[in-house]
Amino acid sequence: MKALSPTDSAFLWMETRNQPMHVAGLNIYTPPKGAGPEFVGQMLDEWRQHLGAEAPFNLKPRLRLGMWYWEEDTDFEMDYHVRHLALPQPGRIRELLALVSRVHGNLMDRSRPLWECYVIEGLPGGRFATYIKMHHALIDGVSGARMTAQAMATTAAEHKPPLWAQSLGKVPKPRPASASKSLLAQLSELAQAGREILPGIGAGLVDMARSASGEETAIPTLKAPPTPFNVEISGARRFAAQSFPLSRLKRIGQAANATVNDVTLAICAGALRQYLQTHAKLPAKPLVAMVPVSLHGETDLGGNQVTLLLAELATHIKDPLKRLEKIKASTTQAKDKLRSMSRLQKMAYGMTSIATFGPALVTKLAGKYPPFNLVISNVPGSRETLYMNGATLDEIYPVSIPTHYLALNITISGYRDNLGFGFIACRRSVPALQRMLDYTEQSIEELEKALGLNAPVAKKKAAAPAPKKPHKPVAKKT
């Protein structure tokens, strides 16, 4: 049995029926040429040859004396974790996103390893999808995406074992120094180190970050306005997704002398402005986005190592170029501060503000005085084409976590020459989420127009076309 770090444990403690704490990835595939309707079934049969699961996919949580541990599931049942589904007629992307919206709202069974893999057939032309859900206590979104990619093949010829049957070396690390200490001793240790959030700490997020960093100037003093996204959430979800060519964003970046990350934020800002205007809820003050920055590789600790930026989205500015300039200034300032911090300070700063549960601690005040309005996260992805049992991976979309007072999350994943935008929201608080896809497209066009760039011939690159019918863009169908 391995003790979870307090941060990882927090994802278990904070989970409720309205606030499940899992991340997921939606991948869409084209089967190899000549594959028949039995392709997916045969792939599953191949997977069933692998009876067990490797760490961390064999580990279930166990609560003992107020502490969470990972222990091996000795009755591992693959048929529970791997779920074969089909889309109803006509099997459009619309039906796929409706399905993902539903399953993403369901809690996982804690008596088993905290992951589920859905294999969904029935898209036109024999295309199929996987939706792989993992608990954030087990793995953070970046590691999860990386592992999923790592488990795939880089040629159509190679057949690898399924994700969970590969030794990917991502065993959650025990904390040997403190695992044997009492909970109280650990708590006081943590309080001293000031670098972890535990439930029950009631101080404001910004105050915590300030005192934890030990450097007042490192903390942006942005004030986020109340918005419809900063409310208590329900248990139901809505997911919307679409890919855009990276080349379009790069072209905008070159013309405006901005990074792709800043352009991404500007595109989101334009879409958010349009959404809030349509609902007559655009605040006079600009929205603030929390942008997680991974410290993977910068620290030698396992688990969830993340710091963050707070970026002003300049949603109060109508002109798209002026909006982009303001965003650039805001992120440049934040990055300068981060650079001046030591690694420990960065971690302290990040840990006290972990995107997915920080605000939930801040009580109902978070609705009135949100420390930020939403999380916009960019997950690095593979540039090269990936394959699974000969099927080509066409599209990748991250599905993240809405929480109380952060009802909307935008997570973006790069894959090949595209950026896959995944919008996940509380279905109650963020109605008509699918419109956000249109607004995103319009937001890109607006920037292109302002910079005098001709819109490309193929405006949207949503997916590789299906063999027979052309694959229509996701947006219109969601």
Of 10, 26, 59, 87, the one binding a second copy (CB under 8 A) is 87
CB of 75: closest distance to a second copy in angstroms? 7
CB of 116: closest distance to a second copy in angstroms? 9
Of 35, 67, 78, 98, the one binding a second copy (CB under 8 A) is 98
The reply to whether 107 sits near a second copy by the rule CB under 8 A is yes
CB of 42: closest distance to a second copy in angstroms? 10
Please tell me the distance from the alpha carbon of residue 236 to that of residue 430, in angstroms, as a whole number. 11
Please tell me the distance from the alpha carbon of residue 424 to that of residue 437, in angstroms, as a whole number. 12
- Size of site (CB under 8 A) for a second copy: 39
HSE-up (13 A, CA, CB side) for residue 47: 23
The reply to whether 85 sits near a second copy by the rule CB under 8 A is yes
Q: Could you tell me the CA-to-CA distances from 142 to 152, 162, 292 in Å, in that order?
A: 16, 19, 10
DSSP string, 424-456: EEETTTSTTTTHHHHHHHHHHHHHHHHTTPPPP
CB of 34: closest distance to a second copy in angstroms? 17
Of 21, 28, 40, 114, the one binding a second copy (CB under 8 A) is 40
Q: Which window, 100-108, 268-276, 314-322, 363-371, contacts a second copy (CB under 8 A)?
A: 100-108
CB of 41: closest distance to a second copy in angstroms? 6
Contact call for residues 336 and 309 (beta carbons, < 8 A)? no
CB of 102: closest distance to a second copy in angstroms? 7
Binding mask 119-158 for a second copy (x = CB under 8 A): x-xx------------------------------------
Of the candidates 474, 420, 418, 452, which has an alpha carbon nearest to the alpha carbon of residue 248?
418
Please tell me the distance from the alpha carbon of residue 19 to that of residue 406, in angstroms, as a whole number. 11
Strand partners, 294: 306
The reply to whether 250 sits near a second copy by the rule CB under 8 A is no
In sequence order, the 6+-apart residues with CB closer than 8 A to the CB of 246 are 260, 414, 417, 418, 419
CB of 98: closest distance to a second copy in angstroms? 8
The reply to whether 79 sits near a second copy by the rule CB under 8 A is yes
Of 89, 155, 192, 221, the one binding a second copy (CB under 8 A) is 89
Please tell me the distance from the alpha carbon of residue 28 to that of residue 392, in angstroms, as a whole number. 9
Q: Hey, which residues between 262 and 291 contact a second copy (CB under 8 A)?
A: none
Q: Which window, 72-80, 265-273, 288-296, 466-474, contacts a second copy (CB under 8 A)?
A: 72-80
Q: Which window, 49-57, 116-124, 318-326, 402-410, contacts a second copy (CB under 8 A)?
A: 116-124
Q: Closest CB to a second copy among 377 and 429? A: 429
Contact call for residues 313 and 288 (beta carbons, < 8 A)? yes
Q: Closest CB to a second copy among 43 and 266? A: 43
Spatial strand order of the sheet with 408-415 comes to 237-245, 418-426, 408-415, 374-379, 288-294, 306-312
Amino acid symbol at 176: P
Q: Closest CB to a second copy among 38 and 300? A: 38
The reply to whether 83 sits near a second copy by the rule CB under 8 A is yes
The reply to whether 234 sits near a second copy by the rule CB under 8 A is yes
Burial class (CB in 10 A: 0-12, 13-18, 19+), 397: buried
DSSP string, 316-338: T--SHHHHHHHHHHHHHHHHHHH
Q: Is 366 helix (H, G, I), strand (E, B) or coil?
A: helix
Query: Residue 81 catalytic?
Result: no
Q: Which of 81, 104, 136, 404 is catalytic?
A: 136
Q: Is 216 helix (H, G, I), strand (E, B) or coil?
A: helix
In sequence order, the 6+-apart residues with CB closer than 8 A to the CB of 426 are 231, 233, 234, 236, 237, 238, 402, 407, 408
The reply to whether 75 sits near a second copy by the rule CB under 8 A is yes
Of 1, 41, 158, 319, the one binding a second copy (CB under 8 A) is 41
The reply to whether 86 sits near a second copy by the rule CB under 8 A is yes
The reply to whether 435 sits near a second copy by the rule CB under 8 A is no
Q: Closest CB to a second copy among 101 and 418? A: 101
Q: Which window, 105-113, 280-288, 289-297, 333-341, contacts a second copy (CB under 8 A)?
A: 105-113
Q: Hey, which residues between 436 and 465 contact a second copy (CB under 8 A)?
A: none
Of 34, 38, 200, 221, the one binding a second copy (CB under 8 A) is 38
CB of 99: closest distance to a second copy in angstroms? 8
Please tell me the distance from the alpha carbon of residue 153 to that of residue 156, in angstroms, as a whole number. 7
Residue environment code for 432-463, b if the CB has 16+ CB neighbours within 10 A, otherwise e:
ebbbbbbbbbebbbbbbebbebeeeeeebbbb
Contact call for residues 387 and 156 (beta carbons, < 8 A)? yes
Q: Closest CB to a second copy among 99 and 252? A: 99
Kindly list the residues in this chain that would bind a second copy in the complex (CB under 8 A).
17-18, 37-38, 40-41, 75, 77, 79-80, 83-90, 95, 98-99, 102, 105-112, 119, 121-122, 234-236, 427-428, 431
Q: Please list the active-site residues.
A: 136
